[in-house]
């Protein structure tokens, strides 16, 4: 048994002026504070860095050869033409927009439906299993999705619809939809779960059925979060590269139907950057497309964030 | 980080410590015109009081009267809450706590026990050995001794001596509260502050802890914030009555409880007519 | 008196109908993917052998194995982790433990969201502009891994921040009250209780990094390189890019070969994610407070 009355030995380690002495621990604490702050601002530095470096590489084109009307108004992307090179990205924008649009048509209803089922109807083991599946699906790499579009969807579309090519808006749209859906599902599910339980209890106390509860109470309360989920899905579809490159057919086209092949903005950069000389007009034009992509996704992400934050404040 | 740099920079400007020891050091703790606000809303206004060496100083008052904020200002926990603004002066051992250059050394001399017991998610042994380790003790035998002594004094040793390696955060509420006290004691504090320690503890444990406190008063000064007026009567030498952000009065405990009050609100509160 | 009225029955019927509808939507979302996975396993399975995994590609990549690509992916992931884990954990510690609630912290959070949202091909352009050209690393493992690190930084930051915030504030306050500095508190109380959560985040990041293709196409990954990298300044093959190459760029590749590559890639990614999920569930069952 220890002597309980003897003063603790701590006193031996404590001297009178420690209160004025900033010891090693004090300085370590300050040093850590500075170090982690550097980590914290690194995210800002990188975002600015991306903008600066991509702009710097594309600057020559922007200053010398950039023609706003041609760039955004012309469907002719002919950077290697021997007669007259033209840099019009209208067809590329149309390609990206048509594929993303179709993808959202596929993804929005199914991912919201799945989110509602997982958050409001499924229980216990089913719920857990579905959540794990959705998470695993979200992890499938885009190049694998592209491969699936190439070797599985392509012959399937040719056979089913009796068309000559299966690499088209339809193929890339479905692939992109399947890709974006799991992420949208889990974000949408989060925002449904964020609706306070007292709302549900109040509605149930009033005798509302599950459906009334979901459609009249939960969905309206979570609408900002759901909108945010959709926007993030759009952003993801917009910026997707490998899957679209492999599944869309990659031919410059203003599409008339979903069976046309198209080419996306991202895919153009991926396919052509390796063949251009550093500093050439073509090379710089590709970086200019990069700036355009950066700005668009920046705006989409900012909007999604503002919308999602809107609910937290209100 | 800017703050970190500034603190290092003003280091050089601090008045020499010799100039500061001029304050008379009779009172253990002296509070002058202390006011606390959270984001502009006052929580405590103009408190003046003195606490003597080796006394148990009780603070009673209804909820939201600024008692907990008062304790936080004493050991400068406002540093961790940018919302909390403190003005006025607090002298601990005759030194203004705002001018301690190493505020961590200040806190290591003040033990704190919270309303809800906090067993840290580490072993019982590590819970009690944490403060000594923070102050640089690594000798195993020395740590063993400190752990046993502090747990014994907190009346917990017999219950946990066979499971010092179980998680402190999984002990029962009463045990965790005594573990918190043992941890505070392991700091070898000059001052022990207890904030409504009996809220989440059963009556038997409460009585045991009260006995422990009676023993401890021989070695340290104790501030006992309590919502049980009778507990203050049982333990405190002097008692302060806080009401809606101000200190209504300070007086000898027995005197207050026998009706010798300056303010009728104190008598009303003690008699249980409100609060 | 308590018998269901006509209206009630109708309501209940409608309810189960809606429920079934939502269930079907979930099934439609998940089933095709499971079928696709099954196809990959069915067609790619036979291609996978010891020789496939551990030998070099031969005959213009129409035969042989994927060993250099596997090794290259390990190199890329390892170098990327060396950069992004310390940086990401530091950022998360700052945001969770130090950052005040103000506009500046808000901007950091926006930057993290944007870093995660910028298209991968734009990250690739950044990698070319910054690491390959400006810093003069050339097309190398270093340039590619740095690009990957920056791209996956948000994964580490978000996972670490979440597991730090899961440690209750009361533990920190108890520690601060004992005279511990912020760092002592983080190091002795917060990190030990968050480290497993951080680890699951790191596994997720490894999985993300393994699958990324676009950011490494022009920064350090090569189509075909029949020898192994010796330093971070060498180029390398990578599994994800290899899948792209054998399925689109090389004529005369036997059918099962790209299936085999895809299966290895998706197997690695899903295995890591499963480990991360299982680990998380195990931790959830093992409450420490």
Max CA-CA distance within chain A?
A: 99
The residue among C125 and C287 whose pLDDT is bigger is C125
CA B92, B107, B65: angle at the middle one, nearest 5? 75
Tally DSSP H helices, then E strands, for chain C.
12, 2
Domain extent at residue C109: 50-285
Contact: A49, C126; criterion CB under 8 Å: yes
SS3 assignment, position A124:
helix
Whether C233 has a pLDDT exceeding 90, the answer reads yes
CA C181, C184, C188: angle at the middle one, nearest 5? 145
Q: Which residues contact C102 (CB under 8 A, 6 or more apart)?
A: none
Domain assignment of residue C222, yes or no: yes
Residue A15 has a pLDDT of 53
- Do residues A112 and C22 make contact, with C-beta atoms less than 8 angstroms apart? no
* DSSP 8-state symbol, C199: H
Contact: B109, C184; criterion CB under 8 Å: no
Cα nearest neighbour of A39 on chain B: B1
The phi and psi torsions of B89 (rounded to 5 degrees) equal -130, 145
- Do residues B150 and B185 make contact, with C-beta atoms less than 8 angstroms apart? yes
Alpha-carbon gap, residue B110 to B90, rounded angstroms:
14
Domain assignment of residue A295, yes or no: yes
Give me the residue label for tokens 């949202």. C117
Q: How many residues does chain B have?
A: 275
Contact: A9, B186; criterion CB under 8 Å: no
Give me the residue label for tokens 């290697």. A80
Of the residues A25, A48, A64, the one at which a domain ends: A64
- What is the torsional sign of CA A70, A73, A78, A81? negative
Cα nearest neighbour of B8 on chain A: A30
Mean pLDDT, chain A, rounded, equals: 87
Residues of A in contact with C130 (CB under 8 A): 49, 53
A50 with A95, same domain: the answer is: no
Provide the phi-psi class of C61: left if phi over 0, else alpha when psi is between -120 and 50, else beta.
Answer: left
| Cross-chain CB nearest to C179 (options B82, B107, B170) | B107
Identify the CA nearest to C214 among candidates C173, C244, C193, C255.
C244
Q: Which residues contact B45 (CB under 8 A, 6 or more apart)?
A: B35, B245, B246
A219 with A153, same domain: the answer is: yes
Residues of C in contact with A214 (CB under 8 A): 18
The residue among C141 and A214 whose pLDDT is bigger is C141
Alpha-carbon gap, residue A249 to A264, rounded angstroms:
10
Domain assignment of residue A69, yes or no: no
Residue A13 has a pLDDT of 46
Residue B71 has a pLDDT of 93
- What is the torsional sign of CA B238, B267, B38, B13? negative
Contact: B8, A10; criterion CB under 8 Å: no
Domain assignment of residue A50, yes or no: yes
CA quadruple A260, A263, A265, A270: dihedral, nearest 10:
150
CA A293, A294, A297: angle at the middle one, nearest 5? 80
Whether A170 has a pLDDT exceeding 90, the answer reads yes
The residue among A197 and C150 whose pLDDT is bigger is C150
A110 with A251, same domain: the answer is: yes
Residues of C in contact with A266 (CB under 8 A): 119, 121, 214
Domain assignment of residue C273, yes or no: yes
A158 with A270, same domain: the answer is: yes
Alpha-carbon gap, residue C114 to C157, rounded angstroms:
13
Alpha-carbon distance A9 to nearest alpha carbon in chain B (angstroms) = 8
- From first to last of the 275 residues of chain B, give the pLDDT tens digit: 555 555 554 444 444 444 444 444 468 889 999 999 998 899 999 999 999 988 999 999 998 889 999 999 998 998 888 889 999 999 988 888 888 888 888 899 999 998 988 999 999 999 999 999 998 889 999 999 999 999 999 999 999 999 999 999 989 988 999 999 999 999 999 899 999 998 888 899 899 999 999 989 888 999 999 988 899 999 999 999 999 999 999 999 999 998 888 888 998 999 888 87
Alpha-carbon gap, residue A179 to A199, rounded angstroms:
33
Domain assignment of residue C29, yes or no: no
Residues B38-54 as b or e (16 or more Cβ within 10 Å = b): eeeebbbbebebebeee
A30 with A93, same domain: the answer is: no
Residues 206-235 on C with a CB inside 8 Å of A are: 207-208, 210-214, 217-218
SS3 assignment, position A206:
coil
Provide the phi-psi class of A140: left if phi over 0, else alpha when psi is between -120 and 50, else beta.
Answer: beta
Q: Which residues contact B138 (CB under 8 A, 6 or more apart)?
A: none
Contact: C178, B183; criterion CB under 8 Å: yes
Cα nearest neighbour of C258 on chain A: A147
Question: Which residues of B sit within 8 Å Cβ distance of C?
Answer: 75, 77, 80, 82, 104-112, 114, 116, 118-122, 130-131, 133-135, 167, 169-170, 180, 183-184, 187
Identify the CA nearest to B81 among candidates B90, B72, B70, B92.
B72
Residue B32, beta-bridge partner list: B89
- Do residues A8 and B219 make contact, with C-beta atoms less than 8 angstroms apart? no
Contact: C121, A290; criterion CB under 8 Å: yes
Alpha-carbon gap, residue C246 to C62, rounded angstroms:
8
Q: Which residues contact C195 (CB under 8 A, 6 or more apart)?
A: none
The pLDDT > 90 percentage for chain C reads 61
Tally DSSP H helices, then E strands, for chain A.
15, 2
A17 with A50, same domain: the answer is: yes
Residues of C in contact with A187 (CB under 8 A): none
Q: What is the tally of structural domains in chain A?
A: 2
The token pair that represents C149 in the structure block: 């690190």
Domain assignment of residue A129, yes or no: yes
A131 with A30, same domain: the answer is: no
| Cross-chain CB nearest to B187 (options C101, C179, C192) | C179
Contact: B169, C289; criterion CB under 8 Å: yes
Residue B14 has a pLDDT of 46
Identify the CA nearest to B41 among candidates B78, B83, B82, B73.
B83
Give me the residue label for tokens 């007259």. A84
Average pLDDT over residues A274-279: 88
Domain assignment of residue C241, yes or no: yes
Q: Which residues contact A29 (CB under 8 A, 6 or more apart)?
A: C181, C182, C183, C184
Q: Does A27 touch chain C (CB under 8 A)?
A: no
Domain assignment of residue C159, yes or no: yes
Residue A12 has a pLDDT of 42
Residues C174-192 as b or e (16 or more Cβ within 10 Å = b): bbbbbbbbbbbbbebbbbb
Q: How many residues does chain A have?
A: 314
The token pair that represents B18 in the structure block: 């010799």
Residues of C in contact with B104 (CB under 8 A): 179-181
DSSP H or E run through A94: helix A90-116
Domain assignment of residue A105, yes or no: yes
Q: Where are the alpha helices (DSSP H) in C45-187?
A: 50-54, 67-93, 103-117, 120-127, 141-165, 169-177, 182-185
Tell me the ipTM for this assembly: 0.89
Alpha-carbon distance A83 to nearest alpha carbon in chain C (angstroms) = 28
SS3 assignment, position A86:
strand
Alpha-carbon gap, residue C166 to C158, rounded angstroms:
12
A225 with A174, same domain: the answer is: yes
Radius of gyration (C-alpha) of chain A in whole angstroms: 27
- Do residues C112 and A43 make contact, with C-beta atoms less than 8 angstroms apart? yes
Q: Does C51 touch chain B (CB under 8 A)?
A: no
Domain assignment of residue C200, yes or no: yes
Residue A14 has a pLDDT of 55
Contact: B188, A8; criterion CB under 8 Å: yes
A303 with A175, same domain: the answer is: yes
Q: Where are the alpha helices (DSSP H) in A151-241?
A: 154-161, 169-193, 197-205, 210-212, 219-221, 223-239
Domain assignment of residue A80, yes or no: no
The CATH number of whichever domain residue A229 belongs to comes to 1.10.3720.10
Domain assignment of residue C262, yes or no: yes
Q: Does C171 touch chain B (CB under 8 A)?
A: yes
Alpha-carbon gap, residue C157 to B150, rounded angstroms:
40
Contact: A20, B100; criterion CB under 8 Å: yes
Contact: A8, B146; criterion CB under 8 Å: yes
Domain assignment of residue A71, yes or no: no
SS3 assignment, position C289:
coil
The CATH number of whichever domain residue C219 belongs to comes to 1.10.3720.10
Domain extent at residue A30: 5-64
Q: Which residues contact C287 (CB under 8 A, 6 or more apart)?
A: none
Give me the residue label for tokens 């899905």. A233
Q: Does A273 touch chain C (CB under 8 A)?
A: yes
Provide the phi-psi class of C279: left if phi over 0, else alpha when psi is between -120 and 50, else beta.
Answer: alpha
Q: A190: exposed, middle or buried (C-beta count within 10 Å: 0-12, 13-18, 19+)?
A: middle
Alpha-carbon distance C99 to nearest alpha carbon in chain B (angstroms) = 9
Contact: A37, B1; criterion CB under 8 Å: yes
A102 with A49, same domain: the answer is: no
Whether C179 has a pLDDT exceeding 50, the answer reads yes
- Do residues A130 and A119 make contact, with C-beta atoms less than 8 angstroms apart? no
| Cross-chain CB nearest to C100 (options B82, B106, B119) | B82
Q: What is the tally of structural domains in chain C?
A: 1
Residues A130-155 as b or e (16 or more Cβ within 10 Å = b): bbbbbbbbbbbbbbbbbbbbbbbbbe
Domain assignment of residue C101, yes or no: yes
Residue B243, beta-bridge partner list: B246
- Do residues B61 and B242 make contact, with C-beta atoms less than 8 angstroms apart? yes
CA quadruple B261, B262, B266, B268: dihedral, nearest 10:
80
| Cross-chain CB nearest to B102 (options A4, A8, A26) | A26
Radius of gyration (C-alpha) of chain C in whole angstroms: 24
Please state whether the predicted TM-score (pTM) of the whole model is above 0.95. no
Q: How many residues does chain C have?
A: 289
Alpha-carbon gap, residue B234 to B238, rounded angstroms:
11
Q: Does C8 touch chain A (CB under 8 A)?
A: no
Q: Does B100 touch chain A (CB under 8 A)?
A: yes
Whether A8 has a pLDDT exceeding 90, the answer reads no
Domain assignment of residue A78, yes or no: no
Whether A41 has a pLDDT exceeding 50, the answer reads yes
- Do residues B52 and B222 make contact, with C-beta atoms less than 8 angstroms apart? no
A215 with A172, same domain: the answer is: yes
């Amino acid at each position: 048994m220890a002597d309980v009355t003897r003063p603790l030995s701590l006193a031996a380690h404590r001297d009178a002026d420690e209160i004025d002495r900033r010891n090693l621990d004090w300085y370590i604490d300050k040093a850590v504070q500075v170090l982690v702050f550097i980590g914290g601002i690194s995210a800002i530095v990188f975002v600015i860095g991306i903008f600066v470096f991509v702009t710097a590489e594309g600057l020559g084109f922007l200053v010398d050869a950039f023609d706003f009307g041609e760039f955004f108004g012309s469907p002719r992307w002919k950077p290697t033409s021997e007669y007259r090179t033209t840099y019009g990205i209208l067809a590329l924008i149309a390609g990206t927009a048509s594929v993303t649009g179709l993808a959202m048509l596929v993804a929005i209803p199914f991912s919201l439906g799945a989110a509602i089922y997982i958050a409001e109807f499924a229980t216990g083991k089913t719920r857990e299993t579905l959540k794990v599946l959705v998470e695993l699906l979200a992890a499938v790499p885009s190049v694998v999705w592209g491969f699936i579009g190439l070797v599985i969807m392509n012959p399937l579309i040719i056979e089913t619809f009796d068309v000559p090519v299966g690499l088209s808006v339809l193929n890339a749209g479905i692939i992109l939809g399947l890709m974006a859906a799991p992420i949208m599902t889990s974000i949408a599910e989060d925002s449904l779960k964020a609706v306070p339980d007292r709302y549900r209890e109040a509605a149930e106390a009033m005798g509302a059925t599950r459906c009334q509860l979901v459609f009249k109470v939960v969905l309206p309360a979570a609408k900002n979060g759901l909108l945010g989920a959709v926007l993030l899905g759009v952003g993801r579809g917009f910026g997707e590269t490998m899957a679209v490159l492999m599944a869309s057919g990659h031919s410059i086209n203003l599409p008339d139907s979903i069976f046309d092949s198209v080419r996306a903005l991202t895919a153009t950069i991926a396919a052509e950057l390796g063949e251009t000389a550093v500093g050439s007009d073509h090379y710089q034009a590709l970086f200019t497309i990069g700036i355009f992509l950066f700005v668009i996704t920046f705006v989409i992400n900012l909007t999604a964030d503002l919308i999602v934050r809107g609910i937290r404040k209100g | 980080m800017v703050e970190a740099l500034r603190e290092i920079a003003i280091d050089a400007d601090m008045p020499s410590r010799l100039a500061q020891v001029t304050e008379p050091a009779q009172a253990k703790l002296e509070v002058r015109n202390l006011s606390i606000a959270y984001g502009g809303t006052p929580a405590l206004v103009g408190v003046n009081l003195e606490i003597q060496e080796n006394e148990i100083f009780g603070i009673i008052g209804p909820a939201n009267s600024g008692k907990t904020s008062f304790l936080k200002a004493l050991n400068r926990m406002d540093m961790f809450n940018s919302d909390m603004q403190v003005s006025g002066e607090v002298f601990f051992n005759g030194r203004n706590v705002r001018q301690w250059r190493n505020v961590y050394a200040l806190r290591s001399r003040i033990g704190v026990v919270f309303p809800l017991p906090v067993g840290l998610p580490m072993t019982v042994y590590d819970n009690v050995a944490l403060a000594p380790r923070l102050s640089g003790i690594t000798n195993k035998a020395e740590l063993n001794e400190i752990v046993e002594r502090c747990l014994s004094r907190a009346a917990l040793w017999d219950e946990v001596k066979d499971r010092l390696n179980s998680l402190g955060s999984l002990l029962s509420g009463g045990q965790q509260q005594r573990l918190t006290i043992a941890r505070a004691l392991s700091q070898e504090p000059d001052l022990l502050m207890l904030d409504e320690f009996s809220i989440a503890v059963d009556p038997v444990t409460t009585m045991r802890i009260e006995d422990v406190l009676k023993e401890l008063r021989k070695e340290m000064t104790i501030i006992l914030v309590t919502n049980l007026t009778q507990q203050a009567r049982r333990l405190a030498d002097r008692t302060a009555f806080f009401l809606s952000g101000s200190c209504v009065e300070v007086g000898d405990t027995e005197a207050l409880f026998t009706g010798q009050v300056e303010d009728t609100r104190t008598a009303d509160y003690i008699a249980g007519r409100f609060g | 008196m308590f018998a269901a009225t006509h209206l009630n029955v109708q309501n209940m019927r409608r309810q189960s109908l809606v429920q079934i509808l939502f269930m079907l939507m979930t099934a439609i979302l998940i089933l095709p993917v499971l079928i696709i996975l099954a196809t990959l396993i069915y067609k790619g399975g036979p291609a996978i052998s010891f020789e496939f995994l551990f030998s070099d590609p031969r005959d213009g990549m129409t035969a042989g194995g994927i060993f250099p690509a596997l090794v290259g992916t390990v190199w890329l992931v390892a170098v990327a982790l060396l950069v992004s884990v310390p940086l990401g954990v530091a950022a998360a510690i700052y945001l969770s433990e130090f950052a005040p609630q103000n506009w500046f912290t808000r901007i950091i959070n926006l930057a993290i969201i944007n870093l995660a949202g910028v298209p991968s091909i734009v990250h690739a352009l950044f990698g070319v502009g910054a690491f390959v050209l400006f810093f003069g690393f050339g097309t190398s493992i270093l340039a590619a891994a740095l690009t990957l690190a920056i791209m996956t930084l948000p994964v580490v930051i978000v996972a670490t921040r979440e597991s730090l915030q899961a440690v209750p504030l009361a533990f920190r306050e108890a520690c601060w009250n004992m005279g511990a500095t912020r760092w002592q508190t983080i190091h002795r109380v917060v990190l030990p209780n968050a480290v497993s959560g951080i680890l699951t985040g790191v596994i997720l990041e490894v999985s993300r990094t393994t699958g990324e293709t676009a950011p490494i196409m022009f920064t350090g990954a090569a189509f075909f390189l029949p020898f192994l990298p010796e330093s971070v300044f060498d180029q390398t093959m990578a599994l994800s890019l290899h899948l792209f190459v054998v399925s689109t760029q090389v004529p005369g590749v036997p059918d099962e070969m790209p299936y085999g590559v895809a299966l290895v890639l998706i197997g690695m990614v899903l295995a890591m994610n499963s480990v991360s999920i299982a680990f998380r569930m195990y931790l959830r069952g093992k409450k420490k407070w």
